[in-house]
A and B are shown apart, each in its own frame.
Chain A
Amino acid sequence: MDNSTKSYSNLKATLAMAKASFRSILRSPSAVVFSLAFPLIFILVFGFIGGGGIKIDVGVDKASDLTNPIFMALKNVSVIHLIEDQSEEEMNSNLSKGRLDAIINIQKNAAMPPFTVNVQYTKASLSNGNILKSVLNNILYKVNTRSGNAPPPVAELKETTVEGRTYKTIDFILPGQLGFSLLSSGVFGTAFVFLSLRLTLVIKRFFATPVKRYSIVLGEAIARIAFALLGALFIILIGHFAFGFTLIHGFVTVINMLILSAIGLIVFMGFGFTVSGIAKNESTIPPIANIITLPQFLLSGTFFSISAFPSWLQPISRALPLTYLNDGMRKIAFEGAGLMDIKHQLLILFIWGIGIYALAVKVFKWE
């Protein structure tokens, strides 16, 4: 029994690393919070507040007539929210603060015309007031044309709506949250693990065993990717079943999203390796990692579409890797794109990957 050099298996060592690392990640509260709890909280918040669309709050004057056809028609408009339980004083104060978008008072007249519609708008909420204005115009036009003495129409309006998928808030928010969860887990998780393994001499102790360096890195990577993909799957399923997140081709879409997640995570782990090399101790990791993650959190279309940004900001957004991950993710989930259809996004992620790993190899420290 001289020794077992010949039968030594790097694969076995790598898998042992991966297993240990995976167990460790599962027991690390920060990993679970970053990858699961954070995105889920954001999805919950936006899932609930984002669903309603526009609401226009209209106070109804106590002296108003409530039995006329105009009021009935207003009641049936879904964007109009009629408030009938506030006193005049309350309504006036709310109107000036913009909590009410308008106050309406419809009077029945003894003479012609039979009704007068008094509307008070507020400068505090002009755009919603304008929507109400056009809703009222529309209603009054219909009411007026129905009466006998109205002039014959000059032009007739015909409206049709084409069938389409509704783009829900969740369809925008979930891919963004997923992308950000991958970014933070890739950067923070990787940086903390490798720095602490280095500082506590765990890696040094490993080097006294026959394990190869690549086995250590690969084992860690496998564990982190496996954990992130489980997290992503969990987020996607919650989003789909609880909030109606659109998965065009069902299972195939999920698989494509997971593959893209893995690609994104590998790129982001490059940032993590770099940070672990630059950081001197554990307290210097968060500031450095935040420099990488925060701008992307805000500028990569996590919460708002990039097209909403001012034009001078857009080129910066379009330089960030998370932008392309989010973009690709939305295309896959909502438009039903395959990986081949998002070649452009993948190419840019790939370029980022090469750049960041070139840097990581330079600054990474084993001891």
Chain B
Amino acid sequence: MAKPIIQVNNLVKKYNDFTAVNSISFEVMQGEIFGLLGPNGAGKTTTLEIMETLREKTSGSVIINGVDLDSDPDSIKHIIGVQLQSAGYYPNLNLSELIELFSGLYGISVKPIELLEKVALVDKAKAKYKELSGGQKQRFSIATTLINQPKIIFLDEPTTGLDPQARRNLWDLIQEIRSSGTTIVITTHYMDEAEVLCDRVAFIDAGKVIGIDTPDHFIDQLVASGFERKKEVKKANLEDVFITLTGKEWRES
């Protein structure tokens, strides 16, 4: 049985009168891909940003890799990698220079090309971030989370806005990172994605956890309760058609 690398207990975050996170508790096991699922405004990003040391919590406890967030946030920063929803990068720098900057901020030295190799962006080493396609941008964002060889990476809606090919390409990358031993916490609005990627998912709604389990188990439970889809399930869906017709290869203009 894997041991927990993240323990969140009764986490609460209030903005004035509004309670964004209302006593959330969960554990993330070492080496798993853990999904935080829920509608917009449910508190996923707030929960993520508290774990990422970017936001103060109101109460509750967060322990990451055995370190209490309250006592030593700096040492947590050293072992996590963070991808923010819609974050930009320092202007006028190319990808190699951005990696150089981040490795300086982490106080380590990294060969930009080796890192870009991991996310298949070597030929874009001299390109600016804003010149990249949507999928390339997300892969670069993920590359920057790997600079400090973190134990955990946090990905906030990494596939939003990508076409099916780019999305699948990113799934492969995320699974590759996990297979090298990194724990991954991810949020997404795509349930098929969560089903493919996540070992376990937590459903969050209105600032509360309303269920934590494996995707399979959730689905089995629902079926057992007598749920039936309105339309008979076929052996393929429209996305399978899309991929078959347009090919698996990832397009980049």
The reply to whether the CB of B226 lies closer than 8 angstroms to some CB of chain A is no
Are the CB atoms of B78 and A5 closer together than 8 Å?
yes
**Interface range on chain B (Cβ under 8 Å from partner):** 20 to 34
Q: Contacting B92 at CB < 8 Å: which of A5, A28, A197? A: A28
What are the residues of chain B within 8 A of A9 when measuring CB–CB? 107
Contact A205:B84 (CB < 8 A) given known A13-B104, A23-B93:
yes
Flag A1-39 by CB within 8 Å of B: 1 or 0 each. Answer: 001110111001101110111011001100000000000
Contact A210:B93 (CB < 8 A) given known A5-B75, A200-B88, A201-B84:
no
Complex Cα gap A28–B104 (Å): 22
The reply to whether the CB of A76 lies closer than 8 angstroms to some CB of chain B is no
Q: Contacting A4 at CB < 8 Å: which of B84, B87, B108? A: B108
Complex Cα gap A196–B105 (Å): 19
Report the minimum CB–CB distance from B185 to chain A (whole Å): 13
Contact A202:B78 (CB < 8 A) given known A12-B104, A12-B107, A209-B102:
no
Complex Cα gap A12–B103 (Å): 10
| Interface contact tally, CB-CB below 8 A | 94
Complex Cα gap A9–B105 (Å): 9
Report the minimum CB–CB distance from A354 to chain B (whole Å): 30
Q: Contacting B91 at CB < 8 Å: which of A13, A19, A24? A: A24
Contact A20:B74 (CB < 8 A) given known A13-B104, A206-B105:
no
Flag B189-213 by CB within 8 Å of A: 1 or 0 each. Answer: 0000000000000000000000000
Report the minimum CB–CB distance from A365 to chain B (whole Å): 15
The reply to whether the CB of B90 lies closer than 8 angstroms to some CB of chain A is yes
Flag A204-224 by CB within 8 Å of B: 1 or 0 each. Answer: 111111110001000000000
Report the minimum CB–CB distance from A8 to chain B (whole Å): 4
Are the CB atoms of A205 and B87 closer together than 8 Å?
yes
Complex Cα gap A200–B84 (Å): 11
Q: Contacting B82 at CB < 8 Å: which of A17, A27, A28, A208? A: A208
Flag B85-102 by CB within 8 Å of A: 1 or 0 each. Answer: 011111111000110111
Report the minimum CB–CB distance from B175 to chain A (whole Å): 23
What are the residues of chain A within 8 A of B74 when measuring CB–CB? 5, 210
What are the residues of chain A within 8 A of B92 when measuring CB–CB? 23-24, 27-28
What are the residues of chain A within 8 A of B77 when measuring CB–CB? 208-210
Complex Cα gap A329–B162 (Å): 56
Are the CB atoms of B107 and A4 closer together than 8 Å?
yes
Are the CB atoms of A205 and B82 closer together than 8 Å?
yes
Chain A residues packing against B (C-beta within 8 Å): 3-5, 7-9, 12-13, 15-17, 19-21, 23-24, 27-28, 196-197, 200-202, 204-211, 215
8 A-B pairs with the lowest CB-CB distances in the bound complex, closest first: A16-B104, A200-B88, A208-B82, A201-B87, A24-B92, A3-B78, A27-B92, A20-B101
A12-B107, A24-B90, A205-B89 given; 15 more Cβ-contact pairs under 8 Å? A4-B78, A15-B104, A16-B100, A19-B100, A20-B97, A20-B101, A21-B90, A23-B93, A200-B87, A200-B91, A207-B53, A208-B53, A208-B77, A208-B82, A210-B107
